[in-house]
Chain A
Amino acid sequence: MAATTPLLQVRDLAVRYSNGDLALHHVSFEIKSPSFMAIIGPNGSGKSTLVKTSLGLIKPSRGTIKVMGYDSQKKSGKIRKLVRYVPQRDRIDLAIPMKVKDIVLMGRLLKKLPPRFATSKDIAIAKDALQQVNMEELWERPFPELSGGQRQRVLVARALASEGSILVLDEPLAGTDVESQNLIVEALGRYHKENDVSIIMVTHDLNPIHTLVEDVLLLKNTVIGLGEPCSIMDPELIKKVYGPTARIVEHSGHRYCMTHDSGIDRHD
């Protein structure tokens, strides 16, 4: 155990918002490093809250959360050096005339000190990241004029272009079609394998990534389950979280979870 520092180490964590909402309580778990982990759970189950708390953006009301051994409150500076973060898409303000290239370069420039000039190396890396999500042609396009799924891909490229051994993505697959999903998932999977980085991904739909993920955390304001995708894809667990209508189906050796949330409606 002492040999490698865990990616996440959470002890008796509770987060209460100022309006009294108890978003998380009695959360304790540990994830080894490196890992490709998914956090799943219904709307309002505290997924984003957990992620933001781990980055020191929210102060826990009780307990601690450590990322690579660094405490989220005391050592947030160290954590933020390691992390590249993609917030939920609706957190990006579209009133500012940013081009696609500006958004992707942001991932690199944020890790520098002012005046944060983009070198030709930065530009090459940013272009390469866009290529990985098949968006290199939109380099000069205004970001606010892209479709939702395209914006999501650009944000993933922003994370890929940046530096740091942990990628944190909050619902990178929201509102994307199957093609975009596959592109994003493949890019992330490839990146995880080739670069020895950990990926923490919040998602509503495990199906597109369940062959890649190593650890799945099932949340409903507290830990309901933690384990490999197959053990989490357990009918009883899923029902507990998503209600009695949720089902698991097996299809060509894979388990698919069918809930109203993820709206899986595969006809094949």
Chain B
Amino acid sequence: MIDIIQIIIESPFLQRAILGALLIAIVAAASGTFLVFRGLSFMASGVAHAALGGTALGIFLQDSGLVPWFDPILGALLFSVLVAAFTGYAGESGITQKMEVAVGVSFALSMSFAVFLMYYIPPYRVPQIWGYLIGDILLLNDLDIIMLGSTTLLLAVITLMFNKEFVYVSVDMEGSTAHGMNARAYHYLMLIVSALAIALATKAVGAILVYAIMVAPAAASNELVKSVRGVIFSVFLIALIAELAGIATSFVVFVSPSAIAGILAALSYILALQIKRLKEKVDVDIDDPALYPDDLKVTWIQSLSHEHEDEHEH
């Protein structure tokens, strides 16, 4: 135990990794939960890839000298917000399928865009784009932490303030509007703030990990936990444990922490499905005789025998 603390104190990159893991667990709890509630789990990966397209644009603008001050991260944020707004627009009526399609279209568009621009970007900067896919939680720098930290804080505050509104928009958009809530505003707020946090998380740890951490724990919790607050809390725990386990494993075995975290998160979902199935089985196995009152049975048998009598008469 003392050893571990010693190691953490001595290695700033490990401190950043643990802090990053904590922040991403918060993002997963705050936005992953609501995305899964709305049937929009695909949006996490849509936004992550849009960030990649935006980065390509940023690098291109910077490198070609067109807009030298344009940091690639601005492109990533811009693109992810555009995807969120586009998705929100498609789903203003509250229909999830339409939003899924919008996410799919923006996914394809941003990836095509990224690949298109790669031909015009100096080859030595191309890995920076792909870095958005793979990422590494052990390679976070201070700026990453600051940006991710401030967005996570914003997301957490907004979710704490408006979680009821986000739930109401997901449950009954029409009814919420009709009761005087500005459902449209919350609908966009939720999508855009989530997109910002997802884009920065992607920059920090890579799209693959973001996707796994954003969706699987929320899906797992939603199978088993029966209250909104419970789901949020459980997502946070699953995400954090998966990430810390990933980091710890990478010290023992030569392996990417993101890969381990992603696999663990995905396993949590499979496990949840299994637990749910087991629970259902137990419920069915209950063969309580009290459930079949005798008098009902008798009536039933009587009516059966009456039917037979009728048949004889015919």
Q: Do A and B bind each other?
A: yes
In contact, B178 and A80 (Cβ under 8 angstroms): yes
Q: Which of B164, B177, B179 lies in contact with A114, CB distance below 8 A?
A: B164
Considering the complex, which residues of chain A in the window 74-104 have a beta carbon less than 8 Å from any beta carbon of chain B? 77, 80-81, 83-87, 91-93, 95-99, 102-103
CB of B314 within 8 Å of the partner chain: no
Answer whether A142 and B226 are a contact pair too, CB < 8 Å, given A91-B175, A109-B164, A114-B164: yes
In contact, A110 and B222 (Cβ under 8 angstroms): no
In contact, B176 and A110 (Cβ under 8 angstroms): yes
In contact, B161 and A91 (Cβ under 8 angstroms): no
Answer whether A97 and B226 are a contact pair too, CB < 8 Å, given A55-B178, A85-B175: yes
Q: How far is the CA of A116 from the CA of B168 in the complex (A)?
A: 12
Q: How far is the CA of A103 from the CA of B168 in the complex (A)?
A: 9
Q: How far is the CA of A83 from the CA of B174 in the complex (A)?
A: 13
Total residue contacts A-B, CB cutoff 8 A: 89
- Name which residue of chain A comes closest to B166, CB basis: A96
CB of B162 within 8 Å of the partner chain: yes
In contact, B222 and A95 (Cβ under 8 angstroms): yes
In contact, A93 and B171 (Cβ under 8 angstroms): yes
Considering the complex, which residues of chain B in the window 245-289 have a beta carbon less than 8 Å from any beta carbon of chain A? none
- Name which residue of chain A comes closest to B180, CB basis: A80
Q: Measured between C-beta atoms, what is the minimum distance from B236 to chain A in Å?
A: 16
Provide the residues of chain A in CB contact with B225, threshold 8 Å.
97
Among A77, A96, A99, A111, chain B packs the most CB atoms within 10 A around the CB of A96
Interface size class of A (residues with CB under 8 A): 20 to 34
Q: Which of B37, B39, B161, B175 lies in contact with A86, CB distance below 8 A?
A: B175
Among A98, A102, A103, chain B packs the most CB atoms within 10 A around the CB of A98
Q: How far is the CA of A81 from the CA of B181 in the complex (A)?
A: 10
In contact, A84 and B226 (Cβ under 8 angstroms): no
Provide the residues of chain B in CB contact with A111, threshold 8 Å.
179-180
CB of B230 within 8 Å of the partner chain: yes
Q: How far is the CA of A91 from the CA of B181 in the complex (A)?
A: 17
CB of B170 within 8 Å of the partner chain: yes
CB of A124 within 8 Å of the partner chain: no
Q: Measured between C-beta atoms, what is the minimum distance from B231 to chain A in Å?
A: 6
Q: How far is the CA of A125 from the CA of B38 in the complex (A)?
A: 29
- Name which residue of chain A comes closest to B167, CB basis: A96
Q: Measured between C-beta atoms, what is the minimum distance from A197 to chain B in Å?
A: 15
Among A93, A107, A162, chain B packs the most CB atoms within 10 A around the CB of A93
In contact, B168 and A106 (Cβ under 8 angstroms): yes
Q: Which of A80, A95, A99, A107 lies in contact with B227, CB distance below 8 A?
A: A99
Q: How far is the CA of A83 from the CA of B172 in the complex (A)?
A: 15
In contact, A77 and B162 (Cβ under 8 angstroms): no
Q: How far is the CA of A6 from the CA of B116 in the complex (A)?
A: 62
- Name which residue of chain B comes closest to A91, CB basis: B174
In contact, A87 and B170 (Cβ under 8 angstroms): no
Q: How far is the CA of A110 from the CA of B226 in the complex (A)?
A: 22
Considering the complex, which residues of chain A in the window 30-78 have a beta carbon less than 8 Å from any beta carbon of chain B? 52, 55, 57, 77
Q: How far is the CA of A33 from the CA of B177 in the complex (A)?
A: 24
Considering the complex, which residues of chain A in the window 157-213 have a beta carbon less than 8 Å from any beta carbon of chain B? 162, 168
Q: How far is the CA of A142 from the CA of B36 in the complex (A)?
A: 18
Q: Measured between C-beta atoms, what is the minimum distance from B234 to chain A in Å?
A: 11
In contact, B180 and A52 (Cβ under 8 angstroms): no
Provide the residues of chain A in CB contact with B37, threshold 8 Å.
93, 95-96
- Name which residue of chain B comes closest to A84, CB basis: B179
- Name which residue of chain A comes closest to B163, CB basis: A115
In contact, A114 and B180 (Cβ under 8 angstroms): no
- Name which residue of chain B comes closest to A55, CB basis: B178
Q: Measured between C-beta atoms, what is the minimum distance from B188 to chain A in Å?
A: 16
CB of B100 within 8 Å of the partner chain: no
CB of B228 within 8 Å of the partner chain: yes
Provide the residues of chain A in CB contact with B94, threshold 8 Å.
91
Q: How far is the CA of A52 from the CA of B94 in the complex (A)?
A: 14
Question: When each residue 143-187 of chain B gets 1 if its CB lies under 8 Å from chain A and 0 otherwise, what string results?
Answer: 000000000000000000110110110111011111111000000
In contact, A114 and B171 (Cβ under 8 angstroms): no
In contact, B161 and A168 (Cβ under 8 angstroms): no
In contact, A98 and B164 (Cβ under 8 angstroms): no
Provide the residues of chain A in CB contact with B39, threshold 8 Å.
95
Chain B residues proximal to chain A, CB less than 8 Å: 36-39, 94, 161-162, 164-165, 167-168, 170-172, 174-181, 222, 225-228, 230-231
The 5 closest A-B pairs by CB, nearest first: A80-B180, A85-B178, A110-B179, A55-B178, A96-B37
A-B contact pairs, 5 of them (CB 8 A): A87-B172, A93-B171, A96-B170, A110-B176, A115-B161
Further pairs besides A57-B177, A93-B172, A106-B175: 6, Cβ < 8 Å: A52-B174, A80-B180, A97-B230, A109-B164, A115-B161, A115-B164
